[in-house]
Amino acid sequence: MTSYTLHPQVGLRDEKFGALAYHYGNRRLTFLNDDKLVTVVRSLDQHDDVDEALAAAGIPAAQWPAYRVALARLVESEILREHH
């Protein structure tokens, strides 16, 4: 079961194209170019795991693998981190 949360040092700002995420620690800016991905990211804390968040956001199951990859990338760039 994989569970993520927004990194505490990250600010998220909604934009027409999705959102901008800025990490105050490593000072990197990341573009989230997909509204649905932003919805998922914002809702991660309300769900026990990633799949539950994807389901709640209405992402079709066929697209889950792509979303899982996108979320894993956000973990790599420290926008998200594993929830403990």
Angle between helices 64-76 and 35-43 in degrees, nearest 10: 70
Q: Which of 33, 45, 55, 72 binds other proteins (CB under 8 A)?
A: 33
Which residue in the block uniquely carries the two structure tokens 């809702």?
43
CB of 48 to other proteins, least distance (A): 29
Task: Return the range that interacts with other proteins (CB under 8 A); candidates 16-24, 37-45, 47-55, 59-67.
Answer: 16-24
Q: Which of 27, 46, 76, 84 binds other proteins (CB under 8 A)?
A: 27
Helix (DSSP H) and strand (DSSP E) numbers for the chain: 3, 5
